[in-house]
Chain A
Amino acid sequence: MRKIEFRTAVREAMEEEMRKDPLLFLFGYDVGEYGGEFRVSQGMHAEFGDRRVQDAPINENGMVGLGVGASITGTKAIIEIAFMDFLPMAMDAIVNQAAKFNYTFAGQRSVPLVLRTAMGGYIRAAEQHSQCLENWFVHVPGLKVVVPSTGYDAKGLLKSAILDPNPVIFVEHKFMYPMKSEVPEEEYTIPLGSADVKREGTDVTVIAYSYMVHLTLNVAKKLEKEGISVEVVDPRSLVPLDEETILNSVRKTNRVVIVHEAHERGGWGGEMAAIIADKAFSDLDAPIKRVGARNTPIPFPAQLEEFILPSEDRIEAAIREVLA
């Protein structure tokens, strides 16, 4: 099977859907001729032209607001705000407008908007260009939050997100864009709310998403040589969440580590740990451990950034701790 980059898989999902729906458009700054800040939309402007692949001024709140207005009047919008760090500029449009419409107006009209953005560090981009804010949006009812870890997952999930009548925050990862994976030529979708067991194991369940899946798989391979069998479960979407797959894994292994790149305090790990402690309490053989960024802004040079962000060493230490 062919192997393509993560960014290519995302692009293909958009292209395929835009060819089918002539009223679907992509809107963001630099998405046009420039091809996108992470080269995701390269070549798309040449195919679809202005207004369907439209460069925008730098105005995040207005952009998402425009996306809301367009989506509720018959033209679905994919808004690209390349750096997740800029989403705070658009919070009103995301939280007070997009998330609320269907509920506030009692189902009269939904907002089928996709907001594509990229989280994460490991690229030495410093404090205002490296954040993972996905859990802010998990906290707002009315939004869906998707966090693919591979190009294969990203393509299938993005197609589902575009077809979903609800507003979806689709969170890619800056560091993963060039990573290759096997992606079939034929069209396929992956439903939101379906977790994926990336690696089967029996001794401990590690729940990880986005780039952390890759670090965790490295650790699992290493620990296999010692006879420690690690099961890696990738939720793929945080809202809606596939609790059943995750809890079945916990019931099998009895031990849990949750890994995310976002800060530990107030990160999604706390949400997941509470669900497990509630619904699988009698299956736990050890306390639940979380691994996330330490609670500081993300600094720029390698040795500082790597100290703050999760590392394979820290993931390994957490696994060993729950196996003690």
Chain B
Amino acid sequence: MEQNDPITQINAKDIRKIYETMLKIRMFETKEKDLIQTEQEGFAHSYVGEEAIATGVAAALRQDDYITSTHRGHGHMIAKGGELGKMYGELYGRTSGYCRGRSGSLHIADFDLGVLGANGIVGGGIPIAVGAAYSIQLRKSDQVAVAFFGEGAMNQGLFHEAANMAAIYQLPVVFIVEVNHWQCGVRYETVYHPSVIENVAIRAQSYGFPGEKIDGNDVVEVYQYAKKAIENARSGKGPYMLACYTYRIETHFMGDIDIRPADEVNEWRKNDPIENLERRMVKAAIMSGSEMEEIRDSVSTQVTQAIDFARQSSKPEPESALEHVYS
């Protein structure tokens, strides 16, 4: 990279925060892979390998902007400012969790942070983000809504309905498609027409708004394009789609079987988004090795403390399951 590496346009504080966030997600998910198979109940879906997308997009958002997330939602939540302790609390099923321990990984939400929920239904969050954008427009606010979803959800009728409505009403919503190549045990190439595979974002044009393909493992690129798409929405120019090409390093859920060829996975490991960023930061002399080490240690400590906090939290009483059916 030369002097005009776009990374140099980002100020140092923001870069530091981006790096720290990606590490937080990586370490959170790595630890979680152990915990879910030993101490915790239920299921969790790993975001390892995709950190650049959540981080890059969130870096371009305000706290009062909304996001909807998926079953693979830990990364989005952390990137939007979620507290590690409350997240582990929810995964452990404790009252200190975001949903008081009753819902687990698939349903983490914090409305104060603008996170309108992870969602266990593939595509379920997409029209909700569009609805949030409808509300923004009705209230004449300058907020933006972002829908995160995978390329698998893009085949849901729900996506089609939501994208069309976003376009016809010119809503301030950005669609982030995380093309991570695998839908549980199915390659995405088998459920998309060859003319679409290379860039699923061309579907955006059929609704009437722009869509671009970007490198989902390059956090700087994600950040730059996200800024563009979000500003576009914020200024009233309507929806935007970014198809972020990446790879799901881990299995569909933590502890699942892996039918993928080992060399395919290993090839993508070499394109690790965090290592990519580290190399660039060193090359552009933005951060030294020891500074990075310091951040790593700090994040590692935060993760450990969060796990301890969660482990010591109380469990909800069985009768608490009767609460909140109705408001």
Contact = CB atoms under 8 A, between A and B. Distances in A.
Interface of A: 23, 25, 51-52, 54, 56-57, 59, 61-75, 77, 92-93, 96-97, 101-110, 141-142, 144, 165-166
Contacts of B119: 97
Nearest to B147: A69
Contacts of A59: 157, 160-161, 164-165
Best-buried of A66, A70, A96, A142 by chain B (most CB within 10 Å): A66
Nearest to B136: A73
B128 A141 contact: no
B325 A93 contact: no
A17 to B, nearest CB: 15
A67 B131 contact: yes
Given A59-B161, A59-B165, A104-B99, A70 B131 contact: yes
Given A65-B162, A66-B165, A104 B127 contact: no
Nearest to A25: B138
Interface of B: 66, 68, 98-100, 102-103, 107, 109-111, 116-117, 119-121, 124, 126-139, 145, 157-158, 160-162, 164-165, 168-169, 323-327
Contacts of B133: 69
A61 B102 contact: no
Contact of B161 (A25, A62, A69, A72): A62
Contact of B121 (A57, A71, A97): A97
A74 B139 contact: yes
Contacts of A72: 111, 116, 128, 131-132
A102 B129 CA distance: 17
Contacts of B161: 57, 59, 61-63, 65
A199 to B, nearest CB: 31
Contacts of B107: 104-105
A69 B168 contact: no
A166 B323 CA distance: 14
A260 B68 CA distance: 40
A68 B116 CA distance: 11
A112 to B, nearest CB: 8
A69 B165 contact: no
A324 to B, nearest CB: 41
A9 to B, nearest CB: 26
B127 A101 contact: no
B162 A92 contact: no
Nearest to B109: A105
Given A107-B323, A108-B109, A73 B158 contact: no
Contacts of A75: 134-135, 138-139
Contacts of B325: 102-103, 141-142
Given A57-B161, A69-B68, A93-B124, 15 more contacts: A57-B165, A61-B157, A66-B131, A66-B165, A69-B129, A69-B132, A73-B132, A73-B135, A75-B135, A103-B325, A105-B109, A106-B100, A106-B103, A108-B111, A166-B326
